[in-house]
Amino acid sequence: MLKIVTIIGARPQIIKAAALSRAIRNHFPDKIKEVLVHTGQHYDNNMSQVFFDELGIPEPDYNLEIGSASHGRQTGRMIERIEEVLLEESPDFMVVYGDTNSTLAASIAASKIQTPIVHIEAGLRSFNKKMPEEINRIMCDHSSTMLFTPTPTGLKNLINEGFSPDNKAPFTADNPGIFHCGDVMLDNSLYFKQFANEESSILRDLNLSGKQFLLGTIHRDNNTDQPERLNSIFSALNLISGENEITLALPLHPRTIKAMESKIERSLSIKMSGNPFLKIIPSVSFLDMIMLESHCDMIFTDSGGVQKEAYFFHKPCIILRSETEWKEIVDEGNGIIADANQQAMIDAYHYFQTNKSMLNFPPIYGDGSAAEFICAAMVKRV
């Protein structure tokens, strides 16, 4: 039996873990034993527990309750606690997702004691090292033993950085295996869509059933912590929804709600309160998010995960960053990088309103079975 320790911590990782846990339960119950560790990077109910409740993920075997702190302190605290768990459990592999501080901390802890690392969502690059996530993903990739990339671009990035697609098992950190397997988030979006239709009441609750509406999320520190960017983004969103009389639902990360209280200019705040088309709400569960994404007209976001979900549900996406690691979305013409530029956001909105019926969404994220592929590859390696 293969023993893996899976490390999760931030909202999207909890959701991604659902796909692997489900594949283990359904296809590999006597081949893989999973020990789940939650670092506690996200801890608010609607950033963490809600996903366990609705996605059928087993409760974590360990909750390290690290919480929020500066990047260095948060990462340091996690390294110490994750090392203890790895020494206690002595797994065949440690599995990590994406690019958060939990991913980085786990990679450092594991590599120091030679626990082989499996990185899911490997190879993605924004080529902007000012983003903490870019450093996190590079460090994790370069200490991993098996790397699973969701896209052909991810595979190309790894090869450009010296990884070889010709390496053969047994894999080690010095002889890593790289695999293109599709995206576990597509597995989840396809699987949970049926439950969302049955169980989510968000469209009714927000009075959006059968109506056209827009969806937006903003949470990157680059946007929340810089007043000019935050004001420019909200000013554009306010104008777009108000002038076009189209509802914009904005489920916001707790840090964005906090930042708005102190950083949004008074004149804009007054205009936003008088705009009946802006619906600002706390962040929502995954099933609610799937409902909003699959029924809206268009999505504004600075999240990586939401850009992809826009694509899965065939919605145009306006990207509120200066670059993206999901470059296929832009190359296919279904995403426009508007950064925090008010005019670019408005122009992108009008462009997509005019052209949305002509967009094509070829299947670039696999077929919804990435998690099974990953499990089978891990089992084969030992």
Q: Which residues are catalytic?
A: 219
Task: State the burial class of residue 26 (Cβ atoms within 10 Å of its Cβ: 0-12, 13-18, 19+).
Answer: exposed
Helix segments in 142-226, DSSP class H: 152-160, 184-199, 202-205, 221-224
Site membership for ligand UD1, residue 323 (CB under 6 A): no
Helix (H, G, I), strand (E, B), or coil: what is residue 29? coil
Radius of gyration of the chain (CA): 20
Site membership for ligand UD1, residue 65 (CB under 6 A): no
Is the CB of residue 85 less than 8 Å from the CB of residue 370? Answer: no
The residue (of 208 and 252) whose beta carbon lies closer to ligand UD1 is 252
Is the CB of residue 40 less than 8 Å from the CB of residue 67? Answer: yes
Site membership for ligand UD1, residue 68 (CB under 6 A): yes
Taking the complex as a whole, the smallest distance from the CB of residue 2 to ligand UD1 amounts, in Å, to 28
The single residue among 10, 272, 291, 370 that binds ligand UD1, judged by CB under 6 A, is: 10
- Name the strand (E) or helix (H) holding 358: none
Taking the complex as a whole, the smallest distance from the CB of residue 222 to ligand UD1 amounts, in Å, to 10
Spatial distance between the Cα atoms of 290 and 86, rounded to a whole number of angstroms:
34
Phi and psi dihedrals of 273, rounded to 5?
-65, -30
The single residue among 255, 271, 356, 381 that binds ligand UD1, judged by CB under 6 A, is: 255
Taking the complex as a whole, the smallest distance from the CB of residue 259 to ligand UD1 amounts, in Å, to 9
The residue (of 33 and 255) whose beta carbon lies closer to ligand UD1 is 255
Q: Footprint of ligand UD1 on residues 74-113 (CB under 6 A)?
A: 99-101
Helix (H, G, I), strand (E, B), or coil: what is residue 35? strand
The residue (of 166 and 261) whose beta carbon lies closer to ligand UD1 is 261
Spatial distance between the Cα atoms of 74 and 64, rounded to a whole number of angstroms:
11
The single residue among 132, 142, 377, 379 that binds ligand UD1, judged by CB under 6 A, is: 132
Residues in the chain: 382
The single residue among 79, 254, 264, 330 that binds ligand UD1, judged by CB under 6 A, is: 254
The residue (of 63 and 244) whose beta carbon lies closer to ligand UD1 is 63
Site membership for ligand UD1, residue 58 (CB under 6 A): no
Helix segments in 247-334, DSSP class H: 254-263, 266-273, 286-295, 304-312, 327-331
User: How do beta strands 177-180 and 278-282 pair?
Assistant: unpaired
| Interaction pattern, residues 220-239, with ligand UD1; x per rule: CB under 6 A | -x------------------
Site membership for ligand UD1, residue 44 (CB under 6 A): yes
| Interaction pattern, residues 256-295, with ligand UD1; x per rule: CB under 6 A | ----------------------------------------
Spatial distance between the Cα atoms of 134 and 298, rounded to a whole number of angstroms:
27
Q: How many residues bind ligand UD1 (CB under 6 A)?
A: 19
The single residue among 3, 31, 43, 313 that binds ligand UD1, judged by CB under 6 A, is: 43
Is the CB of residue 197 less than 8 Å from the CB of residue 238? Answer: no
The residue (of 43 and 195) whose beta carbon lies closer to ligand UD1 is 43
Helix (H, G, I), strand (E, B), or coil: what is residue 168? coil
The residue (of 176 and 251) whose beta carbon lies closer to ligand UD1 is 251
The structure tokens listed for 338 are: 């508007």
Using the contact rule CB under 6 A, the part of the chain among 20-28, 35-43, 173-181, 240-248 near ligand UD1 is 35-43
Residues in contact with ligand UD1 by the rule CB under 6 A:
10-12, 41-44, 47, 68, 99-101, 132-133, 219, 221, 254-255, 303
